[in-house]
Amino acid sequence: MTKVYKVTIHNRQTNQIQTVEVPEDQYILQTAEKQNVFPPFSCRNGACTTCAVRILAGEVYQPEAMGLSVELQKKGYALLCVSYPRSDLVVETQDEDEVYELQFGRYFAKGRVRFGFPIDND
């Protein structure tokens, strides 16, 4: 028998808190949309960070989350488009730029770029 979990989504962009019921074998994003809850999303393939959330309580299984490093997953981040619930959940949407910076900031931390070269702040 398939387990069904309550997933509470705090959408920071709209300041709405909504709860959906998601079977353990269904993606959270897709199931939420069927229940008229629309968190941010883009690619639907686990390759970007638009649907990234911070898990405040509970657990997910996200084997296809290639757009999110294992390090960030261990810190409690998940991609709703490719996440399956493994318990009741409370999640909070994130700003895509914040997650992108956490993921890739170390590569681009040399300051602004102009014409392919870092700009000196002198």
pLDDT tens column, 20-33: 999 999 999 999 99
| pLDDT tens per residue, range 89-112 | 999 999 888 887 887 776 555 555
pLDDT > 70? residue 82: yes
Does some domain include residue 112? no
The number of distinct structural domains making up the chain is 1
| pLDDT tens per residue, range 24-77 | 999 999 999 999 999 999 999 998 889 999 999 999 999 999 889 999 999 999
Does some domain include residue 59? yes
Does some domain include residue 37? yes
Domain limits for position 51: 4-95
Reported for 34-41, long-range contacts at CB under 8 A and 24+ positions apart, including other chains, are 37/9, 39/9, 39/11, 39/80, 39/93, 40/11, 40/13, 40/93, 40/96, 41/80, 41/81
Does some domain include residue 108? no
Residue 25 belongs to a domain with what CATH number? 3.10.20.30
- Reported pTM: 0.83
